[in-house]
Amino acid sequence: MTEFFHMGGYAAFVWPSFGITAAIMIAIVIDSWRGFVRERDTLDKLQSQRTKRKPS
């Protein structure tokens, strides 16, 4: 197992490559989902305001 993590002496290059790529992809997922939820909540609020105002 240590041999696996050692990567034939290239651990300092292999793992950061995988790490940076993974970090970027995870960040994209989080940003996408947060933006989606924020926009959906704003839209819901605005639409409920409209339906409330209409009967009056």
Partner 1 sequence: MVSLHKFANPARFVRMSSALLPWMVGMSAVLITVGLYLGLFVAPPDYQQGESMRIIFVHVPSAWMSMFIYSGMAIASATGLIWKHPVADLLAKASAPVGAGFTFATLASGSLWGQPMWGTWWVWDARLTSYLILFFLYIGYMALWEAFDDPQRAGKAAAILALVGAVNVPIIKFSVDWWNTLHQPASVMKMDGPAIDSSMLVPLLIMALGFTAFYGAVVIVRTQREIMARKVRTLRMAQVQA
Residues that bind partner 1 (CB under 8 A): 4, 7-10, 13-14, 16-18, 20-21, 24-25, 27-29, 31-33, 35-36, 39-40, 42-43, 46-47, 50
CB of 32 to partner 1, least distance (A): 5
Q: Rounded distance, CA 52 to CA 44, Å?
A: 12
48 backbone dihedrals φ, ψ, rounded to 5°: -70, -35
CB of 8 to partner 1, least distance (A): 4
Look-up of token digits 């924020």: 38
CB of 13 to partner 1, least distance (A): 4
User: What are the start-end ranges of the H helices in 1-56?
Assistant: 2-6, 11-53
